[in-house]
Every structure is written in C-alpha cells, then in structure tokens.
Amino acid sequence: MPIVVNQLAEAISQEVEARKDELINLLSKLIAFPTVSPPGRNTTEIQEFIKTYLENLGFQTDMWEVYPGDHNVVGILQGKDSKKYNSLIINGHVDVAEVGDDSEWSSSPFTARITDSYVYGRGTSDMKGGIAASLIAIKLLKELGITLQGDLQFQSVIGEEVGEAGTLSCLERGYTADYAVVVDSSNLHIQGQGGVITGWITIESKETYHDGMRRKMIHAGGGVNGASAIEKMMKIIAGLQELERHWAVTKRYKGFPPGTNTINPAVIEGGRHAAFVADKCSLWITVHFYPNEDYEDIIQEIEQHIMAVAASDPWLRENPPQFVWGGKSMIIDRGEIFPSLELDRDHPGTRLLVESYEKMIDQNPIVGMSTTVTDAGWLGRAGIPTSIFGPGTLEDAHVVDEKVEIQQLLDFTKVLAVFIAEWCNTCKQGKE
C-alpha cells in the first residue's frame, strides 16, 4: 500500500502553501550567487551553500572540483532499507545563462524581485527555481517525519549552459539510482528530449601555395593539382544540406515537427592570409537528432555521407576531410554533447510521477518531448530511467527579466514531495 494516502497528501499540500515565503527566500539566496556561464568558474560559493543545506537535512555530501572554481555537489540521504526499496536522483544545475546588458533589465538580474505573482531574476526559470523547490520538498518531508526506505540522492551540478558535463562527472564518479528526475524548465510537463552534438569538419591541403599560383590550379594545362580549402568546403556544406534534407524526408519522431533533425553550419574558419590560397578550412556544425537515436550513430551517418562526397572529388580524395566530435566543454573544447532521452512512459517511476501530479494538481499532466536539451540525456544513456520535470518555461529562460510563476513553484514542490515519499518507499521490482 502506498505510503502517501490522501490525508498525508493534503498535509503536504498545506505545508507547501505555508512555506511560500521560505521557498521564495531560498530562491532569492540562490539567485544572488552570480553563477553566469560563460565564463563559469564561479560556482564554488553556491555549491558550498547547497552542501551545507543538504548536510543540515541529514545528507552525506561529496563535493569535488570539475574545473577550477566549479564544483559538483552530491548529497545522499541513506534509506532505511536501501537494498529493497527504490532509490532516486534529483538533478539540477546551478549555472545560469549570460545576462547581457543588465541596463535592459527592470531590476538587478541577481536580486530577486516579486511582481504580479512572479519571481524575477536570472536563473528563476532555468533553473534555480527547480533547485530551491526541490530542497524545500525534501525539507518538509523530513519535518513531517516521513521516513524514506530507499536512498534519496541530490545532484547539484555545474556547466549545463555551456555543455560542460557536470552530470557526466557524477556518473563517472559512480553515482546511480533506480530513477532520476531532472528538475529543469519544463513548465511542469513530464518530458524526454532529442539530442545535440557539435562537430568540426576540417579540410587541409598537403601543400601551401602563394596566391600567384591560383591560375595554374584552375586553368587548363596549369599542371598544379592544388585547391582552395575554402572552396572545397562548399562541396562539404552542400553534402550536409543534402543529408539534412534526406533526414527530413525519411525520419520522424512523435512529438517533434518534421525536420527537427537539422545540421547547422554554424561557424566557418579558413585561410591564413590574402596572399595565399586557403590551405585549411574548418566548419563547426550543430546537429539535432531524435530521442531514439544515439549520437555515435549520427556521427557515423554524417562521416559516411561526407566521405562519399569527398570520394567523388579528385582533390578531396587525396586530401580527405577530418572530423572532431563533441567535447566536455564548449568553453575549453569548443564542443558539446547532449545525449537524447526516450521517455519510458510505462516505467513505474514515470507512472508514479504522473499519478503524483494528478493527485496534487487534480488534472492530467502533459507528457511528451522537450524541444530543447538538458543533462537528462546523460542519465538516460547511463541506463537510469529519467524524466525531465521542473517549474519554469523555455520562453522565460535566458531572456531579459527572466521569471517563474510562484504558484507553479508551489505546485512543483507538492508533486515532487509526494513522488519522493512514494517512490523511495516502494519496493524495487522483484523485491516485493
């Protein structure tokens, strides 16, 4: 029998409403830390704050440096019977998007402002609102005397805004669970996501020619088997456009508009000086793919197609394109990976999250796909069933006067508190 009966659900609902000021105060404290990324390297203080908060709730904590000045924090609240009962990860990132010209803001981006039932400030929607509400949900469960049989794990990570794999670092450190909720901006929808990977395609000549040699490369009888790497990159770009159109026609995924899987030629760098024929050209591309695709397969598809394009060109056959994919940091590697996440609607964790929403909000949640990407894909790729579920909208994230609706923060807190209480007190599959 589920631990959270109607009487306790009502108590949680009342308790959350009574803690509105406490929630806003906690969110205000988190907003006050200017954890803008890029440049990053500025999260140590906020992570120390969260670490202390978790320890005061009885969590055992682990804090480590991912990059200088940027630390991850993982807290674990040990369950009473961890082997038999479900464990849970709550995951969120503390870095926020760039502010831009703060004179365009109605008030300081790092000072919370409450107006017309919203909290304004950088990170309110993406995603310090989700972190603050999650911490309050955990705190009220403790103060209501709810004992968890399974382990509860809170991951406060860095670098999500610039593809720095803070969540991947948690996985590499060995952290796992039976289910995970990434509390990023989803407007309280329960979601999976497509994926994104960036890559560099480089063409480089084996020889460098002076500009005066160009006539011998392009006119009959010139006798010089040379080419401009910039001009040859035009063939590569055309090949990518051909593949992009092929994907748009042949691939689709429910919940995504046709043609969502795109190949964007985002940045091009080439040549060394006007007095030389360009002997090197590099193209930076961003690739979006569907939830049922893995980035390694996408890499293989692109490379096979582009190498076929190169094989049709006599010069490119001898000077084939080179590929560098992804990276752990857009700042350091100039590359990133966000794995896709297929949402398992039939998983007991997802079903319980839906039921928790229905119980506390008294309506059916929207279950579907996010049009953006989060760290959730790393958890899913590690074999952890995962959902994206958090307060805040994509429209309000990354913008001037970023905001989150206060009632949505409260509703999220109610749903998450009930979900934690039930999931961490439900036997693992096969352990009944």
Q: How far apart are CA 199 and CA 4, in angstroms?
A: 48
- How many CB atoms neighbour CB 36 within 10 A? 18
Cβ neighbours of residue 251 under 8 Å, at least 6 residues apart? Answer: 261, 290
Residues in the chain: 432
Token pair listed for 268: 């091009």
Q: How far apart are CA 153 and CA 164, in angstroms?
A: 21
What is the number of helices (H) and of strands (E) in the chain? Answer: 12, 16
Cis peptide before 314 (omega within 30 of 0): no
Give the CA distances from residue 82 to residues 4, 90, 289, in Å, rounded to whole numbers and listed in that order. 19, 17, 37
343, 369 contact by CB (below 8 A): yes
Half-sphere exposure of 66 (CA within 13 A, CB side): 31
Q: Are strands 152-157 and 60-67 parallel, antiparallel or unpaired?
A: unpaired
326, 197 contact by CB (below 8 A): yes
Which backbone phi and psi does 331 adopt, to 5 degrees? -75, -45
Q: Which residues are catalytic?
A: 95, 160
- How many CB atoms neighbour CB 49 within 10 A? 18
16, 140 contact by CB (below 8 A): yes
Q: How distant is the alpha carbon of residue 264 from its chain centre?
A: 19
